[in-house]
Amino acid sequence: VVASTASPYKFGQDVCKAIGADLTSDAPADIISCLENASGTKAPAPLVRTLTMPVRFTKVIDADKMADFVFNG
């Protein structure tokens, strides 16, 4: 028995490159479309929905400042 929770859509850009698919952009919608076309499958609906959702997190913290941010805000 082989079980896996991995989806090729989780690593779409790498999968497209690995199978030699014509990936011309690193935009998420283009990566999903490339993989759908190359595999003949549809991307999971929850993943496709993320393309139209608002961005919730924009703050970027340098690794050396993470502890300070976590503990002191």
| 30-45 tens-digit pLDDT | 999 999 999 899 999 9
Tokens representing residue 10 in the block: 């989780």
Q: By CB neighbour count within 10 A (0-12 exposed, 13-18 middle, 19+ buried), where does 65 fall? A: exposed
Which residues of the chain are under the pLDDT cut of 50?
none
pLDDT at 6: 79
> How do the residues of the chain divide into helix, strand and coil, expressed in percent and rounded to 5?
55, 0, 45
Structure pTM? Answer: 0.71
**Cβ atoms of 51 and 28 closer than 8 Å:** yes
